[in-house]
A = this chain, B = another copy of it.
Amino acid sequence: MAEQTEVPRRTPLSRQRVLRAAVTLADEAGIDSLSMRNLAQDLGVVPMALYKHVANKDELVAGVIDVVIGEIDPPLADVDWKHVVRERILSARRVLQRHPWVSLAIESQQTPTPAILAYLDSMVGTFRGGGFSVDLAHHVMHAMGSRALGFSQELFDAARNAGRTGATSPEPPAALPAQFADRFPNLAEIAVVASHDDASVVGRGCDDQFEFEFALDLLLEGIERLHQQGWTSSR
């Protein structure tokens, strides 16, 4: 009575398949849903089967980070370091906007993944190729901070969430609870002006892309000035 016809064999697991499924799971259900158990279920596999391909959950997370970082474009072949850095960072930003859970995952790691190191190393190389001293390249990388990875803490994204309760507030100019304006007048003022300046939609809020490039260019221009002045730390 033994059945000859078997359940069709699943395409065999591989580290790549595990990591890709993890990225998809996190993209679709959020980072909190990325558990060994949920991932195993998505792959039609018993949880312990995953441990053949990743040592533990930390290594899984490191693996998915590297898959995502691998999506960042390589540096342009251009002699203008500023242009190369700018485009690379904007590429990184686009990647991390496609996978919004990755920024926090990167910051939660206590040790950077190989792909992160390679990315940072390549960026240092761009500065060095542009004539930067090791010293200046070093400090400039620090000054870039998380912006080098294409994200910065968008503090006002969160502030906007705090200020606006529902989507249909019936107070045209600000749409902020009066209590909010009382407690945080300066934030409220900024929010109102940002809404007014934008003719199209009231309360659309900040143009994230503009803010990002504003900050990026501010840094880049300051850096360029230091470079032209032959800045050196006195260490």
User: In the complex, are the beta carbons of B146 and A198 less than 8 A apart?
Assistant: no
CB neighbours of A207 from chain B (8 A): 235
User: In the complex, are the beta carbons of A187 and B121 less than 8 A apart?
Assistant: yes
A71 at the interface (CB under 8 A from B): no
A131 at the interface (CB under 8 A from B): no
- Chain A 75-93 near chain B by CB (<8 Å), digits 1 or 0: 0000000000000000000
- Smallest CB-CB separation from A133: which chain B residue? B193
When chains A and B are docked, how far (Å) is the Cα of A159 from the Cα of B149? 14
Residue in contact with A183 in the complex, picked from B118, B143, B156, B186, CB distance below 8 Å: B118
Given contacts A107-B107, A134-B189, contact A214 B142 (CB under 8 A): yes
User: In the complex, are the beta carbons of B214 and A139 less than 8 A apart?
Assistant: yes
**Residue in A125, A128, A214, A226 with the greatest tally of chain B CB atoms within 10 Å:** A214
A138 at the interface (CB under 8 A from B): yes
CB neighbours of A210 from chain B (8 A): 233, 235
User: In the complex, are the beta carbons of A190 and B124 less than 8 A apart?
Assistant: yes
- Chain A 152-163 near chain B by CB (<8 Å), digits 1 or 0: 111110110110
Task: State the Cβ distance, A35 to closest chain B Cβ, in Å.
Answer: 16
